[in-house]
Amino acid sequence: MLLSKLLEEIGYERIVGDIAGVEIEGIGADSRHVMKGDLFICFRGGENDGHAFAAEAVSCGAAALVVERVLDLPAVQIVVPDGRKAMTEIAAAFYGHPERRLKIVGITGTNGKTTTAHMLAAILKEGGISCGNIGTLGIFYANKEISPELTTPDPIFLYKIFADMVASGVETVVMEVSAHALFYGKVDGIEFSYCIFTNLTEDHLDFFKTMDSYAAAKEKLFLPGRCDCAILNFDDEMGRRLAGVAVQSYSYALENPADVFAVDIAENFDGCRYVINLFDDLYEIRLNMTGLHNVYNSMAAAVCAAKMGIPVSVIAEGLASLEKVSGRLERVGEMNGADIFVDFAHTPDGLEKSLRALKPHCAGRLICLFGCGGNRDALKRPIMGEVSAQYSDFTVLTSDNPRYEDPFDIILEIERGVRKHTDEYILVVDRESAIEYAMDKLRPGDVLLVAGKGGENYQEIMGVRHIYSDFSTIRNILKYKASEKSGKNEN
């Protein structure tokens, strides 16, 4: 693609050098992956400044640079006021604006994004609509699966995926949109057909500092020109507020008046049943996931699907077809007559909802095992400790992606909250050892919740991602205990 043609679609201040006949073969913002003929885009990031790697990009054959300031390098340079904004504009133009040929649904909120996305995708599939899904668990479309990196991919990769989705016959994309992605403008330029808001609770305050700043980032998704139609949780104050922001909106709730609501809710370990009032159309809904929070998630997906023209009978069939969402309150197995669940809950609200969902079905003790990530919102650590102490009978505090912090120091901060309410807890720093300890404590009727990581397949320590999975750990322990028991019986 001619650079001159590409520049017709972005705002720039000036050009340094001669762009006549310059062909762009690819675009990138990571100098480690630059190839001959690429356009290298520089901007100041949270930790690094891309301008510092421009020389490396040139040495690798970059055809031109996009910069926020002129660099002393022998290369064509396009000077822009905002490198991030330019990256989004360039990515969209380079890949031929695939976003304009897709119906895109954006889902934001502190908790429930992933489950809601998978529920909606299941409904669309049931309705015969070719759908792509982008989010925390990865990217799925046209029998392709791409491992997860970020909840919302960076613009260059995002538009590349959009382009391949179009080429693969995808009609609709359901994507999770994180607050960070909105703050950094990753989805600027995309006009979403529908935007779903799940909830707003404390998270990411290490970055946003205040709940008001966090909320402001979320609100960007619903501004006029960005969102054609909003689907809002009216049991959340932020959801009600967004009704005054969005051009058009529909609501769902259990506690407040709303367009869509649920009655006759029944829950057990195997799932939920309820009757949905979907714009005055009544229908029984069956879910293979338990918890009141999943009733909310399914209502959000149902409202969106209904507004897309899908009949309530198909919506019900789609929701019933979804067996599980990996790591979202997922039953892993049984030991000593006790049930073991894995959940992604990593916020105070998420942990409370998961514990409250399990408690009514727990004939014995509810045991909660969790930790908190390092170099992230430290304010929520003691709060999560309080939540576990209040809603479970015993707490096992352990490590969870300590990153560059000492895991024991993180655990001590969580312990401050636990200590306020109970002395029924233990600290076990190594996560595998903690899980084995908790499983050894199980008796008939107990329930163990292993929270915080869900479907993650790594443990991040000192900048290195070590292969690790709660699922694998639990299953290996179950297998070992079973073989140990079998060996004793043979003797």
Binding residues, by number, are 31, 109-115, 151-152, 178, 376, 400-403, 452, 456
- Residues β-bridged to residue 396: 369, 426
Taking the C-alpha atoms of residue 459 and residue 373, their distance in angstroms, rounded to an integer, is 10
Distances (CA, A) of 283 to 123, 252, 295: 15, 15, 14
Pick from 223, 224, 204, 222: which is nearest to 214 by CA?
204
What is the spatial order of strands in the sheet that 26-28 belongs to? Answer: 14-16, 76-79, 64-67, 38-41, 26-28
Q: How does DSSP assign 331-380, residue by residue?
A: EEEEETTEEEEEE---SHHHHHHHHHHHGGG-SS-EEEEE---TTS-STH
The answer to whether 452 touches 344, Cβ cutoff 8 Å, is yes
Taking the C-alpha atoms of residue 362 and residue 269, their distance in angstroms, rounded to an integer, is 9
Taking the C-alpha atoms of residue 54 and residue 34, their distance in angstroms, rounded to an integer, is 10
- Distance from CA of residue 6 to its chain's centroid? 32
Q: Length of the chain in residues, anyone?
A: 491
Axis crossing angle, helix 380-391 with helix 348-358, rounded to the nearest 10: 10
Taking the C-alpha atoms of residue 447 and residue 359, their distance in angstroms, rounded to an integer, is 8
The answer to whether 48 touches 26, Cβ cutoff 8 Å, is no
Say which DSSP state 397 is in.
Answer: E
Residues in the annotated binding site for meso-2,6-diaminopimelate: 376, 400-403, 452, 456
Say which DSSP state 259 is in.
Answer: S
Say which DSSP state 188 is in.
Answer: T
Taking the C-alpha atoms of residue 92 and residue 267, their distance in angstroms, rounded to an integer, is 45
Pick from 384, 369, 358: which is nearest to 470 by CA?
369
